[in-house]
């Protein structure tokens, strides 16, 4: 399947939708200088921590528990996403 390794949408809460298919929770992704691990849901990580998860349409999305991933990572639409 076609994948786009960048941020394609920033929602009103600051979550970063990528153009990548959902990653394994064991796989890490990088946005700018931030390395992000996977989790199942917000409550699986401490408050203020970033994580990636499978969103409702099967794409890899990055969020921060009780925070904004866009502000934390300095990310905007078009920011490159690396897969580690």
Q: Where are the domains of the chain?
A: 4-83
4-83 carries CATH number 3.40.1800.10: no
Residue 49 has pLDDT above 80, yes or no: yes
Question: What are the structure tokens assigned to 35, written together?
Answer: 């390395």
pLDDT at 2: 76
Residue 82 in this model has a pLDDT that exceeds 70: yes
pTM of the model: 0.94
């Amino acid at each position: 399947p076609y994948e786009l390794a960048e941020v394609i949408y920033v929602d009103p809460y600051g979550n970063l939708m990528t153009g990548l298919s959902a990653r394994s929770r064991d796989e890490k992704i990088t946005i700018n200088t931030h390395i992000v691990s996977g989790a199942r849901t917000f409550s699986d990580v401490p408050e203020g921590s970033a994580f990636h998860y499978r969103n409702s349409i099967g794409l890899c999305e990055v969020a921060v528990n009780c925070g904004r991933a866009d502000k934390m990572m300095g990310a905007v639409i078009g920011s490159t996403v690396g897969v580690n």
